[in-house]
Structure 1
C-alpha cells in the first residue's frame, strides 16, 4: 500500500489500478437514473486517484460543507490527544467541567465517559443539539450537562450531535486550543489540507459535530490516512490501535439487514455492509473506506437519498475492483476514454423553461417592491434584467444583498444573502410569461435556492424553496407592492 507526503494525491489510470471504467460509468448512470445529485467524486486505490469529477459549477478547489462528516475528524483529534496522554477514553465527562455541572449529578451522568460520547452511547433519549443551540447564555457545555440522561451510558445508541460538541469542548479544555488549532499541525498540515474552516459555538469552541469545510481531495486524503492505519509517508500521525477501535463496532445501532445505518457504530464512524466503514454527513457528504479493495471513495452531494448513494456504490463500484492490478486486459481503452469524457462533462443543468417574456421590458429599470411582514425578515426587493443578466437586490435587517444571474446559464459571483459572504452560481429563466424563476446554487454547500417571482397587477408574490433542508424546504409566499 502506498504512503506519501505530497500535498496532492498521485494519479494513475483506472487500468493500472485494476478498476473497471465501465463499472464507474455505470455508477454515474445509476446516479442520473435515480435523480441523485452529486457535487463531486474521487475514487482512490493503492493511494492513487483513479477517477475524479466535479459537477460544474462545483470545482476541485472549492471547499464543501461536511455536516456530520466533521465528526470523524473530531474523533481523530481525540485519538491524537489520547496517544499524547492528554486524556483517556474512560475519563468521566463531568470531571472536565466542575463549574458547569448541575447541583445534583445523576448516576447516569456521573457514569458518562469520553468513550460514550465517541460511540453515541451517552444514554440520552434525544439529540441534545437543539437545546444547546437554543440556550440564551451561549454555554452549550452547561446546557448539555443539564439534559436528563435516561439510559445507562454505553447501553443505548442515539445519534447525538451534542455529544460530539462535548468532545470538542473537552479537547479545548485539556489543550487550550480549539479543535481546528489542535489538528492544524497534527493532521491538516501533514496531509496538505489547506485553509480548513470550522464553525464555533458562541463561546468560541468549534462545533465538532458539524461545521468543517474542506475540499473533496482533502476528504480522500483523510480516508487514505485511515486506510493506511495512521501512517502518512514515514510519519505516524495516529496509532493503529486507535484506527482499529474507531472503525470497528463499539455499539449496536440496529439489526443490520439492508440498511447501512444499522451495521454498528464505532467512534464517530459508521460500519457498513461488505466490510466497509465510513464517515458521512447530511445530504450526502461521504468518506468511504474499503479495506478489502484498498480503496477510498470521497463524495460531496446535495441529496436526501443517502442510502441510494450507498446502494449504487455496492451495486456498481464494488464490482469495479479487480483482485490483481493489470488484469483488466479485456477492457478496451475506449471505455476509460469514454469515462474521462463523462467526468469532464459533469454539470448541474440550470432550469431552462422559457428564455424570455414580454414582461422583461418592465424590468429594465424597475422600482423597488416593499414586502409585507414575513418570516424571513425580508424588507424589499428589486429585479432588473439587462441583456442576458438579471440583478436581484434584496434588503433585510442586515442590509442590502445583491445577486447577479445568467439567462438560463450559471453566473459565478459572491453574495451576502445567506449570512456570511460566499461564492454562488446563479441563473434565471421564465417559468411562464408572468413568473420569473431564479436559481441560486451555494457552491460551497449542498444548497440550491429556487425563487419564483410572480408579477401581479399591483405588485409581486415571492415563493422560495431549497433543494434539501433540515426543516421545511418551502417558505410561505411573500407579497409585495411597488414603492
Structure 2
C-alpha cells in the first residue's frame, strides 16, 4: 500500500525558523566526515521540512540498522498490550525446548524486561560467543552464555538480547514481526512496504536489518511523541510509551559519547535532548517532547555524535514558542534548497579515446591481495555500453554489472539498486564510487591499466557481511 502523506505546513506557521534549518544544511555541507542521505522534520504534528540528497529518493527503503530495535520494541509493546507476553516473565518460559540446556541461574532469572532494556546481566555484546555456542539458534546460544552479573544490574549493548525479544514476539504471536506489525502499526501509520533481513531459521533479525523509508522512521517517532495515539486512535498503550522512553538502566560508565551515556529505555536511547532510536552510520529517529518535534535522518558516517551535535547546535534553536511572522522569504529559500539537495559525484574524465580498446581487453585482478575487505571479489572488467561503460564486479563467481555513464550518477536497479559515478583520473587510472542505494554504504573501486589490477574499499564497513548482490532490501524473489 502507498503511504498517506503526512500533514504538511510551512516552517514559520509551526514556529520553526527556516534559517536555522538552512544553517544545519550548511553545517552538513561543511562536515566532510558526514554524508547525509535524507532529512525530515516534524513540528506540532506537521511535516515542515524534508529533503533527500540525490541519488537517494523519498520512496526508496534504506537499511536502518539499529532503528530496527525500536520497531521490535514497538511490537513487544503491542504484544504486551494484547497479553501475549509479559515483561516480568522469565525469558526461558517462552522457549521450553531449551529448559534442560539452560542451567545457569542468572540466565534462568533473566526476564523479558531485561532483554528489552539491554540489561541481561552480560557486560559486553555476546553475539560472537552466542553464535559459537549455537550456530543455528541465536536464542539458545545467547541463553547458554552465563551472565557475569545479575540481570537488571548492568547495561551492555547486546545484539542477541534484542534478537531474543523479537523471537519472543514471533513465538507468542505465531507470525513474523512484519506480519504482526502490519495490521497493528504499519497500516494504521500509513507505512508502505518494509523488508527485514532474516536468520537461518527464517526469523526476522529484530536487532537490525529493517529496510524502510525515512518517512516510516518519522511516523514511528510521531507516534511516540503523541503518546501512542495516531489520528485519534490509540495504537500503543500510554504506559508502554512512558516506560520505553525513560531510562530503564544506566549506561553512563560503559558507553562513549555525550548522547550515549544518558540511560537506555526499551530500545530507545535517552539523549541530551529528548530520546531517540538510532542506527549505525547516522540513521536517527530523534523525538523532542519539549519541542513537540521529530527529526528523522539517514546518512553514511562514522561520526554519529558529530551529526547529533549539529542537530543540537542548529535545529534546536530553530524551534520557537509561537508561529513566526515575516518568515516567508526564509521558508521559500529553505524549500528551494531542499528541492535541490544532491551528493557530489566522484570526479573523473571520460575514457581516453586512445586507450578505450585497452581498457576493455581483459579483466582486472586484485592488487596484491589488498582487497581484504572483499575477499571474494576476484575480478573487475569493463565493456563499452552506448555512451558509457558497463563495469562488472565478479564476487564468488557471481557477476554484478554496474552502469558507468557520463557526468553525475547513473542509477541501476537490477540486481541490486546502485548509483555509480566517477571516471578516469589519468589515462591509466579509473576511479569509481558505487553507492548501494538501499544501504548507507559506498564501495570505492580503483582500476590500474598499467598492471591490470584493482582495489576495492568500503567507505564504512557493512555490518551484515552480505554479498554485493544482496546489498539492498530483501526481495521476495531473492
When normalised by structure 1's length, the TM-score is 0.90
Q: Is the 8 A contact 1:117 1:167 kept in 2?
A: yes
Q: Does residue 25 of structure 2 align to residue 28 of structure 1? A: yes
**Structure 1: distance between partners of 2:335 and 2:115:** 43
3-state secondary structure, aligned to 2:336: helix
Q: Is the 8 A contact 2:65 2:283 kept in 1?
A: yes
Point out the more displaced range, 133-142 or 115-124: 133-142
| 1:129-178, Cα deviation, whole Å (9 max, x unpaired) | 22445567421121111112111111111001110000111111111111
Q: Is the 8 A contact 1:120 1:160 kept in 2?
A: yes
1:478 aligns with none
Superposition RMSD on alpha carbons, in Å?
2.3
2:460 aligns with 468
Residue 104 of structure 1 deviates from its aligned partner by 5.2
**Structure 2: distance between partners of 1:71 and 1:330:** 42
Q: Is the 8 A contact 1:364 1:386 kept in 2?
A: no
Structure 1's unaligned 5+ residue stretches are 416-420, 474-483
Q: Is the 8 A contact 1:453 1:462 kept in 2?
A: yes
Q: Is the 8 A contact 1:363 1:385 kept in 2?
A: no
The total of aligned residue pairs comes to 457
3-state secondary structure, aligned to 1:99: helix
Q: Is the 8 A contact 2:348 2:431 kept in 1?
A: no
**Structure 2: distance between partners of 1:450 and 1:83:** 47
Residue 398 of structure 1 deviates from its aligned partner by 4.3
Q: Is the 8 A contact 2:383 2:391 kept in 1?
A: yes
Of residues 208, 226, 229, the one that matches 1:228 is 226
| 1:180-236, Cα deviation, whole Å (9 max, x unpaired) | 111111001111111111111111111000011111111111110001111112321
3-state secondary structure, aligned to 1:431: strand
Q: Is the 8 A contact 1:102 1:145 kept in 2?
A: no
Cα 1:190–1:464 shift into 2, 3 Å = same
1:481 aligns with none
Matches for 1:163-174 after TM superposition, within 5 Å: 163-174=161-172
Residue 460 of structure 1 deviates from its aligned partner by 1.3
Q: Is the 8 A contact 1:39 1:55 kept in 2?
A: yes
Residue 432 of structure 1 deviates from its aligned partner by 2.6
Q: Does residue 448 of structure 2 align to residue 454 of structure 1? A: yes
Residue 107 of structure 1 deviates from its aligned partner by 1.7
2:152 aligns with 154
Residue 382 of structure 1 deviates from its aligned partner by 1.6
Q: Is the 8 A contact 2:3 2:192 kept in 1?
A: no
Q: Is the 8 A contact 1:74 1:179 kept in 2?
A: yes
| 1:60-107, Cα deviation, whole Å (9 max, x unpaired) | 000110000000010111111111011110110111112224635112
Cα 1:205–1:460 shift into 2, 3 Å = same
3-state secondary structure, aligned to 1:440: strand
**Structure 1: distance between partners of 2:347 and 2:132:** 41
Q: Does residue 207 of structure 2 align to residue 209 of structure 1? A: yes
1:269 aligns with 268
Cα 1:359–1:119 shift into 2, 3 Å = farther
Structure 2's unaligned 5+ residue stretches are 466-478
